[in-house]
Structure 1
Amino acid sequence: MDFVSAGEGQVTIDAATCRLASPQQFEMVGVESDPARLMDMAIGRGFNALWSTSALSNLADGLAFVSMPLLAASMTDDPRLVAGLATLYAVIRLVAALPIGVWVDRFDRRTLIVAANILRGGALAGFALTIQFGVSSLIVLYSAMAVVAALESVADSAAIAILPSLVGTQRLESANGRIAATQLIADEFAGPPLGGFLFALAASVPAFAMGGLWALAGVIALALPTRSPSTLSADAHSSRRSVFAEAVDGIAWLRRHHVVGGLAVIGALASIGYMLPFSILVLFARERLGLNGTGYGLLLAFSALGGLLGSMLASRLRARLGSRWTIVASLILGAVALGGLALTQNPIVAGLLLALYILHAVVWNICSLSLRQRLVPDDLLGRVGGATRVLGLSGLAVGSALGGILADFDLRIPIAAGGVLFLACCFVAVIMLRGELDLGIRPTSAPHESGD
């Protein structure tokens, strides 16, 4: 799902980035305001470093997606303990979301990205050594997974918050789209089969590979620009309040801002709608579509192609339709896709509908994330992002539980219910996403300001 700033009325140019507030401001300092040239200038070395870091990190995530459950299954036959890895991962990310958001606003974001990647690389290297020397156990595996989950949250939150300082505000969708496309390729296409292949060589090999990829990502992140002391939180150089008090600032700002708050509400509902069908999709594929395990894997791989298309279309759609109607159109597409999926028994039609569904999800994620990055003040990006993440992760948990309950009656019900929820999201989007959403200058309000 979610990357310091030029102040209003000035242009900041440094060795790593070229940042702009608007073409008019370039004219003020005598820089040519040709739109094509400005777009070329908007993404530079800083973004390339972030993109490379993200690519390596997501490839490691793809390896973990397959190899970690395989490692657990090699240590125990208890399905609850194997499934517990995913539960632990989700719980850690949920519990850590708010305090991590505070740290992202308190400290230099480059330092957080570098440290988080190098530390999880070291943790995985240490875990791989325990496997290599035959002293590993489920406790060690669970501990390594907990460290990875916490540090991944740090790296992801800091990356989302740093992105607006690396690209022009009108290039956020393009930049987020490039990152999303790379994430899909690494997580869905390259990482899982590579993880399975490496595990077949030796159980420790994918763990060593993950550690190396994350460590290299941390080294590359050193090329990111540091955060100017003047842009740090107002509490950074004074007696600091508690983490809880600072987290409340982000929650309060989110609650008062009708657009960003609306995005958070939509995100929570959409997370429920997403997990309703996907929590039971493997059963739907087997019983309604007649697919075996291989067919189910191909179905998911084909649907991921829709996500790649969405990552390429998001910035173009936003430029043509604006953020509000791009979001509304994507949610309508998601509702229609799930409605059609609930009715079909044809695996080819189901594959096409799932591809359209994933296309909608990627377009929605890119547009909503870019809009939040555009509208939230720099010194609140971490905390508002943390509060938004709590709502989204909670929605995933609720959707997963509801999907299993509804599927007891009929496998089509959770899929159809997901479509209905996306229609509700459309209604919320039309009502709450009003006003000027595509401003070229980011706000600089303090935590007590509403941002309306």
Structure 2
Amino acid sequence: MAGLGRSFTYLWSSAALSNLGDGVLKVGAPLLAVTMTRSPAQVAMVGAAATLPWLLLALPAGAVADRMDRRRVMALANAGRAGGLAAAGALAASGVLNLWLMLLAVLVAGVAEVFADTAAQAVLPMTVPPDRLAAANGRVVGAQTVGNDFAGAPLAGVLVTLLPAAVLAGPALLYGAAALSLAGMRGRFRATRPPSAGRGAGAMRREIGEALRYLWGHRFLRTLAVSAGVLNAASAAYFGVLVLWLVGEGSRVGLEPGGYGLMMTALAAGAVAGSLVSERAVRLLGEGRTLVVMWMISALLYLVPVLLPVAWLLYPTAVVWGVAGATANVLVISTRQRLIPAELLGRVNSAYRLIGMGGMPVGAALGGVVAEVAGLPVVFLGSAAAAVAAVCLIWRVAPVRISGPLTSDHTVDPTPGSLSAH
């Protein structure tokens, strides 16, 4: 891509392929589950299985990303999930796939995703100049959104109806292609100053401890991680059972699977727009205000499907959802990459994501249980309330401008409007 270099082009291509696989799997697996059961708790287990590895493996994945060649970690992870899903697709084609085998396949794909995504965020700053991070992240987020929602979601809706086995086999092919695409990146992609504490489990624990201490001592990153964790848990609870509210004859809205995929496409269209205008939004509002406003918009939109369950209204709502979510996502990723030293990036990023994403399986499982006991609207309203509370938490510490290189004492340079990291 113009001005971003050869290695970034191959990295972006790999991200585009793997995220198309993510999109098919993310939407297709819950739709497959709905054909097997109408239990909210069991359907929510699909989302829990996909995100549980972040809770269990985020910290080791960060240590691996700082020890090994990050490109190689991504290639091996993509190859691993390709193999697991290919096996599940073969079982589906033979007619012996059940809900529990599908959950196992989703869990395996989730384990690989933790290692692939952690290494990907750590390797990106090694492929582009520091002043192009926002542009590069915007392109990656755009590719993620197109793959996850714009292309993957409607494709999943079609495949569930016409060829269910392809919901699993298709992503397997895409992950394999993503692994091969990384071969075009030239050079070594290890951390500039790899960990020197030695080998073995004890050394890895010390490296992980260093990352945790760094994150906890950085006031803004710590608060950002906690806020993101609450938001993601609320999102997992919400979207884990939303398909039951929207899709099928017994649902409140009555969408067909194709209509659900189209709604995700509308969300993706908004997210692509958000990834492209994020820099402009930051210039207009400042980084801190942009983050708070976008997260608040996302939180309040949780109320729309439950208070106004009208099919046509879902599509403009999804567009705005996409704009707000992608704009905030680009800002958060770029901020972390600027504030965290290169030699700690994999581990601190993984510590952040343990907090930020570790609550997702808990949220998904809790959403299913609450929906089973108290009904779907309680889950939706509770998710909205939790999300608003998380936005209020980050609003207390977010400066207008979040920037500046780190100094040796872990503070941000005291430019106007910036934040001390203590």
Please state which band the TM-score falls in when normalised by the shorter chain: 0.7 to 0.9
Instruction: State the secondary structure of the residue aligned to 1:103.
Output: helix
Deviation digits for residues 377-416 of structure 1, max 9, x if unmatched?
1122222222222223343344442586389667555444
Instruction: State the secondary structure of the residue aligned to 1:211.
Output: helix
> Are the aligned partners of 1:314 and 1:366 in contact in 2 as well (CA < 8 Å)?
yes
Deviation digits for residues 312-368 of structure 1, max 9, x if unmatched?
221221233332121122123234434566543544445433432332222222211
Is 2:290 the counterpart of 1:326?
A: yes
Is 2:246 the counterpart of 1:281?
A: no
2:414 corresponds in structure 1 to none
Cα distance change on mapping 1:420 and 1:73 into 2, 3 Å: closer
Cα distance change on mapping 1:77 and 1:412 into 2, 3 Å: closer
Equivalents in 1 of 2:92, 2:321: separation in Å?
40
In structure 1, the gaps of 5 or more residues are 1-16, 18-39
> Are the aligned partners of 2:79 and 2:179 in contact in 1 as well (CA < 8 Å)?
yes
- For residue 366 of structure 1, the aligned residue among 325, 330, 335 is 330
Question: After superposition, where does 1:156-305 map in structure 2 within 5 Å?
Answer: 156-195=117-156, 197=158, 205=166, 207-227=168-188, 231-235=192-196, 241-282=202-243, 284-285=245-246, 290-293=253-256, 295-305=259-269
1:306 corresponds in structure 2 to 270
Is 2:65 the counterpart of 1:104?
A: yes
Farther off after superposition, 214-223 or 317-326: 317-326
Instruction: State the secondary structure of the residue aligned to 2:205.
Output: helix
Q: Which amino acid in the other structure matches residue 377 of structure 1?
A: P
Shift in Å, 1:127: 4.8
Equivalents in 2 of 1:85, 1:414: separation in Å?
17
> Are the aligned partners of 2:123 and 2:189 in contact in 1 as well (CA < 8 Å)?
no
Q: Which amino acid in the other structure matches residue 292 of structure 1?
A: L
Question: After superposition, where does 1:44-59 map in structure 2 within 5 Å?
Answer: 44-59=5-20
Cα distance change on mapping 1:278 and 1:120 into 2, 3 Å: closer
1:438 corresponds in structure 2 to 403
Instruction: State the secondary structure of the residue aligned to 1:432.
Output: coil
Shift in Å, 1:77: 6.6
Is 2:77 the counterpart of 1:116?
A: yes
Question: Max radius of gyration: which structure?
Answer: 1
In structure 2, the gaps of 5 or more residues are 411-419
Equivalents in 1 of 2:245, 2:42: separation in Å?
25
Q: Which amino acid in the other structure matches residue 398 of structure 2?
A: L
Shift in Å, 1:233: 2.1
Q: Report the TM-score, using the length of structure 2 for normalisation.
A: 0.80
> Are the aligned partners of 1:277 and 1:403 in contact in 2 as well (CA < 8 Å)?
no
Identical counterparts, % of pairs: 29
Farther off after superposition, 377-386 or 97-106: 377-386
Tell me how large the CA RMSD over aligned residues is. 3.8
Q: Which amino acid in the other structure matches residue 8 of structure 2?
A: F
Farther off after superposition, 190-199 or 248-257: 190-199
Deviation digits for residues 256-298 of structure 1, max 9, x if unmatched?
0012112102201222342454344345547996443355554
Equivalents in 2 of 1:444, 1:219: separation in Å?
39
> Are the aligned partners of 1:127 and 1:144 in contact in 2 as well (CA < 8 Å)?
yes
1:382 corresponds in structure 2 to 346
Cα distance change on mapping 1:289 and 1:174 into 2, 3 Å: farther
Shift in Å, 1:112: 0.7
2:116 corresponds in structure 1 to 155
Cα distance change on mapping 1:274 and 1:145 into 2, 3 Å: closer
Cα distance change on mapping 1:306 and 1:189 into 2, 3 Å: closer
Cα distance change on mapping 1:397 and 1:134 into 2, 3 Å: closer
Equivalents in 2 of 1:394, 1:59: separation in Å?
23
